Structure 1
Amino acid sequence: MSSRKERPRGGGEPYDRHRPVMLAEVVAALQPQDGEVFLDGTFGAGGYSRGILEAADCTVIGLDRDPTAIAGGFDMVSEFKGRLTLVEERFSELSGAIDDLGVAALDGVVLDVGVSSMQLDRAERGFSFRNEGPLDMRMGGDGPTAADLVATLEDKELAAILRTLGEERRAGAIARAICAEREKEPILDTLRLARIVERVLGQAPNAIHPATRTFQALRIAVNDELRQLALALFAAERRLKPGGRLVVVSFHSLEDRIVKTFLADRTRTLSGGSRHAPAAPVPPATFEAMTRGVEKPGDAETATNPRARSARLRAALRTAAPARGGDPFAFGAPRLPIPSLMGDAS
C-alpha cells in the first residue's frame, strides 16, 4: 500500500485548473448540508471539492493517489480554513484514510473515475500518445510503469490486456508487433509505442487515433483501475451513513459496467424468478437508486467541454442495511491471465 500522507497545508506548484465534469449534477445529487462530512475520492484539481464546500458549511476529505494533485490543492486548503483535508491515498483505501482522521462515517462520497485531464496534458506523465514523454502512466509514484509491462509481458499476456481492458479487436497483431520491436530496441517513450500501433492499424479518416485503445488498456493495467473501483464501492458502502449519498462519474463502458452492476445488485430486493421457481428474497438492499438509469451531461456542457461527452453519472442513497462487501471480480473487474496483475496491487 502506498504511504498515506495527510497534507493539511503547505506550498507547492498547483495543477492547471480544469472544469469538473457534470459539477452541477454531482452537487445536486450529494445535497450538501451544513455540518456534513464528504469524501472526494478523486480530488484532482479540486473542482468537486470546491463545489461541495461552496454549497454548504460542510467539510471535505479529498483523496488522490497522485502526489502532484495533492500538492496542487494546498492553496485551496488554506482558502477553506480547515474545512478541507487532503490525503495522498487510493480511493479503495478510503476506510483507512478516514480512520486516520478520526472520522467514523460519511454523509457523501463522490468518485470521478479514470485519468484526469491534468495527467493527460502533462507529457512527462506518459499518458498521452499525442505528446512525447516517458512511457510511465502511473497515477501514483509506485509500481511498474507501462514501459515495464511492454518490456516484460509475453505477447499473449499483452494481447489479453489490450483485448480485455482496451476492447481492441486486433490485440494479437499489436502485441506481436510490440514484442518484435522491443527486440530491436527498448520501447521507452509514448510516441514510439503510438507509431508501432499506427503501423499495425493504419489511420482511418475521422476515426479515433489508432493507439487510443492500447494506451487505455495499459493505463488501466498499470493502475489496477477496475479492481480499485470495485473496492472503492465496497468501502463507500461500509462507511456511508444511512441516508448518505454515493455519486460516481465514469467515462467508458468498463468503468460504468462495474458501477451499474454494483448498484443493480445493492438496490434489488428480489432475485430473478420464473414460472418454475418463484423469486427468492435477497439480503436487504444497501442502496436506493437516486438516478433512473444513467445521467449524461447536457448539450451546453458537451459543447464547451469535450471531455464531458462520454461522462456517465450514477447516484444512490445508502440505506440502514448492513454492508455486504464482496469479490471485485464478481462486479466486472476482469480476471486477466497474468499473475502479477491479479494480486494485491496496493
Structure 2
Amino acid sequence: MKNGSARFEFFLAQLQTLLTKSAKQKNPALWLYQNNVRTPLFMLEALAKVYIGIHNKKKFTRLKEHFKLLEDALGGIDYYDSFAKEFAKNKKIPAAVVNYLQAQTREKIQSLNELLVEKNWLGDNADRIKKIQKKLTEADWLKEDDEIKAINDFYGEAIYEIVEFTAKTKFHFDNVEADVHELRRKLRWLSIYPQAFRGSIQLSKSKTSPKHLSKYLTKQITSSPYNKMPDTGDSKYFLLLNQNYFYALSWMINELGNLKDDGLKVIAIKEALQQTGALKDTDAFKKAYLLLGSKQTKLQQLLDAAEKICKTYFTENNLEHLVIGTAAVK
C-alpha cells in the first residue's frame, strides 16, 4: 500500500470505529461530538486538501467535501454548545439567552443525525467509507520521494496564498468571522498537515535563531503536545520545517484563536438577544457588552489587536522561512 493510501486508511479506521459505536447510541451525533470525531475528520480533510494540489484533483475535491460537511456540522454544534455551557455558569446572562443557545445546539445535533443517514455514514445503507476506500484504490499515488517534493511545493503555494490574503487587506480586519477566523483557519492547516502525514513532515532545529522569534517561543507553545511531530515510522523521505518558525506559527494560531473566541462570545449573545427579542444591531451589541461586564473587550479592540500581531508576524516574513525543504534517510 502506498503511503498516501495508508494515511487515509489509518484515519478512516478511526472514523469507522467511532461511527460503529455511535450507531448503537440513542443519539449518534451527540455521541460522536462528545467522543472527538472531529480529530480524524480534520486529518482526513487535511490529507484531501493536500492531494487536491498534487494529483487527482476532482477525486480528492469530492472526498474533501464529504469530510468537510461533517466537520462543519460538528463545528456548528461546538459553537453553540460551548457558549451555552459557559454562559450557564454566568448568573448575569439571562436564561432566555442560554435557552436559545441550548436550543440551537439541539437543532445542530439533529441536523447532523439527519446528515449522517442522508450521506450514508450511518443507517441501513451505510457504505460511505467503503465508497471512499474504493476511490482511494483508483488514485494515481506517487512514489515516496516524488510525493514529498510535491508536498514541499504545496506548502510553498499555501504560504504564498496566505501572504497574499494578508497583503490584500494590509492587515486590516473588519470582521471577527470573515477576517480573523478565516486567517486563523488558513494558518492552522499548515500546522495540521504534519499530524495528518504521520511522520513524513518533521521539525528541524537551526543552529541559530533570529532574536525576533524569542517572543513567540513561550513555554506554552514549545511544550505543547500539538507541536510534537508523529514518529517517522518507515518513512525514508521527509519535508523539513524550521522548528522555531513552526513555533511562531503555532503562537499566532493560538493568539488569533483567543481573540476570535473572545469576539464570538459577544456575537453569540447578540444573536441570542435578537432572536429572542426585537433588538436592532446597535442595541443588541450594547446589551451584550452590558451582560458580559466591564472586563469584556470590545470587538473593535479585538480586531485592532489581531491587526497588530499579524502586521508584526507577517512583516517579519516568518511564514516564508517555515519550510526548509526535503530530506532523505541516508
Answer whether TM exceeds 0.5 for this pair: no
TM-score (norm 1): 0.26
TM-score (norm 2): 0.27
The structure with more strand, counted as a fraction of residues = 1
Higher relative contact order, structure no. (Cα contacts within 8 Å, ≥ 6 residues apart): 2
